[in-house]
Each structure stands twice: as structure tokens, then as C-alpha cells.
Amino acid sequence: MPQLSIIVPTYCEAENLKNLIPRISQVLKDSDIVAEIIVVDDNSPDETIAVCQTLAESFPIQLITRKQERGLSTAVIAGIDAAAGEFLLVMDADLSHPPEAIPDLYAALQNQGVDFVIGSRYVNGGSTEENWGWFRKLNSRIATWLARPFTNAKDPMAGFFAISRHHFLKVREILNPVGYKIGLELLVKCRCRNVVEVPIHFADRTLGTSKLSFKEQLSYLRHLKRLAEFKYQNYAYFVQFAIIGLTGVFVNLAALSILLHWLIRPVAIAVAIWISMSTNFLLNRNITFSYARHAPILKQYLTYCGSCLTGAVFNWLTAETLCRSFAYFEQNTLLAAFIGILTGMAFNFILCRYLVFAKQNTVRDEG
């Protein structure tokens, strides 16, 4: 029975595997670690599968070939599902992650109370290749910065990490990652507190090509949205709702400035309101409350309009009541109006969240 399972997701990594597997094996031998290596390949069109089968004659490799599915995160989960070790370590196949760091990550994970270990580029002693251009550096920094609300780890985007099986099993059923960042998903969902970062040097791949496409980067944003909803729940929905509300102000003013050329003012204002309400509806349906985007649109749109109207009535009532009841607000009408806006928005939000875009069991829960 292996103590450690090393999961290596691959897509077209034939040449790299030939180097990686013997290097891992040497490291394990030198440090007396009994481990299995699980390669999860998504039916690569190159020689990956054949190379892996040949290597399996000399090394403790289990090859999982997935024919129906593609994707780094789900490949890692499939690998962990098949793993036998009590400790799990995930790393890339392209030699960006030094196999020589495996014993350090493994040792750190065995320390009392440690939940999660990262092979980290961004702690003291860690590094990336010096030839990274400014764009790549900036890209990596922004992606890391966007993960700040979810974790204090310095390198939460790392694909080189270790976690114990019992920790993993606690959240197995609620994992729902899109794209690349399975490490971040685990950090957040496991509510990992004691995270240790072992410094590593992240080398650039010399063989094969990166699969991190622009599409994957967009997936990252969708992933962040899901994590925000998981961690912050209604606050996360409200922030999205508020941002979209703000875009509505601009849509409204832009539409009005155009419409005024053709229509008389009262009509132009009404049409501008209708346009911005409709764009807000579409944005909320597809982004904020995207879990409800498969529900029939017409009924949803009409209830949305009703909800906005209700919000507007509460807005008006609040502002008017404040002005009539307090001399202070009578003199500061704008402040009363602002509080009215907030109240109306809160009502509108609650109606949207629980009525217009209500979560139904039959609706696919995807962000």
C-alpha cells in the first residue's frame, strides 16, 4: 500500500513523461518514500499513452485514460479518486515543478495540523524563470491578486500541491471547478487554515506546449464567481447585482443622450429606462443569477419588471417618508433620495434572488 499518491495530469506530454517519471522515481528511492504515480491522460493524440504504458513496465504507474472528458481540474479529481495513498500530491508533467521538491512537500504535509502544502513560486526562496515577459508576469500577478479574497496563500494558483486524503474526502462531493485551478478550489472548499508553502523554482517547459489558453483564463473568472458564491453566498450575489445596477446607470444615460435626438423628452426618458432595465435583466439572468438562466425567459422578464417597479415604489416611499418626517432630510433631499435608492435596491435584490431568479431543483446549477 503506497503512503503517497502522485497525480500527474497529462495532455500531449509524451516527451516530458520520459524525463519526469524516472526523475520522480529516483527522488522517491533516495528519500525512502513508497508512492504510486497516477497519470491521468485525456486521450492525447500524441504518444503519451504508449510512452506511459512502456514506462509502467519499469515504474509504479497507473494510467487512467479519459475518453469522454477534457480538463485539468476534473482530470486531477479523477486521479485522486483512483488513488490509494493516504497523502495526495499533484504536479504538472512538463517539468515545471521540480520532482526533487516532492519529499519537502510530503514532509510538510505530515506535520501535525497542516492542511495543505503548496510548492510555491511566491514565497522567500521561490522563483520563476527570469525570462518571463512583463505580460506573463502581470497576468500571473493579477490572477493571484484576484484570488486574495479567498485565501492568504502567496501562490494559490499553483498546480503543485499536496493534501491528505481525509481532507479531500470531506469536500469531494461539493467540488465544482471549471478550468485549471483545482488547487484553489480545494484550498477554499476545504477551508484550509494551516497552509504551508514550500519554495520551489518554477521552470519553463522546454518540450511541448502549454494548454493554458485564453479560454482557460475566462474559465478562471467563472471559477472565481463560483468560489465567491460558495464562500460569501448572498453577499457575492449582491455585489454582482450592484455592479450590474451601476452599469444600468450608464446604459440609461447613453441611451437617453441618443434618443433625445429623435423623441420628445418624456418619451425618451421612458424608453431609456426600459432599455436599461432590459439590459440589467439580461445581465442579471446570465451573470448574477446564472443558475436560473435556463428558466423560461418571458415570465422571468415580466416578474423582473414587476420587481423593479416594486423597488422603485419602495425607493419613492422611503425618500418621501424621510423628507416628511425629519426636518434634516427635508433640507437634504439628495441624501433622502440616496437612502431611498439603497432601500429600493435591497427590495429589488431580495425579490430577484428569491422570486424572479429563484433556484429550482430542476435547474442546472452552473455558474
Contact assessment for residue 85 and residue 2, using Cβ atoms and an 8 Å cutoff = yes
DSSP 263: S
d(CA 349, CA 234): 10
The residue (of 202 and 289) whose beta carbon lies closer to Mn ion is: 202
The residue (of 42 and 104) whose beta carbon lies closer to ligand GDD is: 42
DSSP 286: I
42 binds Mn ion (CB under 5 A): no
The residue (of 97 and 223) whose beta carbon lies closer to Mn ion is: 97
96 binds Mn ion (CB under 5 A): yes
Smallest gap from Cβ 307 to ligand GDD, in A, equals 40
The candidate with the shortest Cα–Cα distance to 229, out of 221, 239, 237, is: 237
Smallest gap from Cβ 3 to ligand GDD, in A, equals 23
**At 82, which helix (H) or strand (E)?**
none
Smallest gap from Cβ 109 to Mn ion, in A, equals 23
Vertex 46: Cα angle to 28 and 212 (nearest 5):
75
The residue (of 70 and 172) whose beta carbon lies closer to ligand GDD is: 70
197 φ/ψ angles, rounded to the nearest 5 degrees: -115, 120
The residue (of 23 and 205) whose beta carbon lies closer to Mn ion is: 205
Per CB under 6 A, residues contacting ligand GDD are 9-11, 13, 40-42, 70-72, 75, 92-94, 96, 140, 157, 159, 180, 205, 210-212
Q: Which of residues 178-207 bind Mn ion (CB under 5 A)?
A: 205
The candidate with the shortest Cα–Cα distance to 8, out of 33, 35, 41, is: 41
CA distances from 84 to 39, 105, 214 (A): 14, 18, 35
Q: Whose CB is nearest to ligand GDD?
A: 159
Vertex 35: Cα angle to 32 and 38 (nearest 5):
155
11 binds, among Mn ion, ligand GDD, none (CB under 5 to 8 A by kind): ligand GDD
94 binds Mn ion (CB under 5 A): yes
The residue (of 41 and 229) whose beta carbon lies closer to ligand GDD is: 41
Smallest gap from Cβ 216 to ligand GDD, in A, equals 8
DSSP 39: E
Going 330 to 332 to 334 to 337, the CA torsion angle's sign is: negative
Smallest gap from Cβ 210 to ligand GDD, in A, equals 4
Residue with cell string 497507473: 62
Smallest gap from Cβ 181 to ligand GDD, in A, equals 6
The residue (of 89 and 275) whose beta carbon lies closer to ligand GDD is: 89
**Contact residues for Mn ion, defined by CB under 5 A:** 94, 96, 205
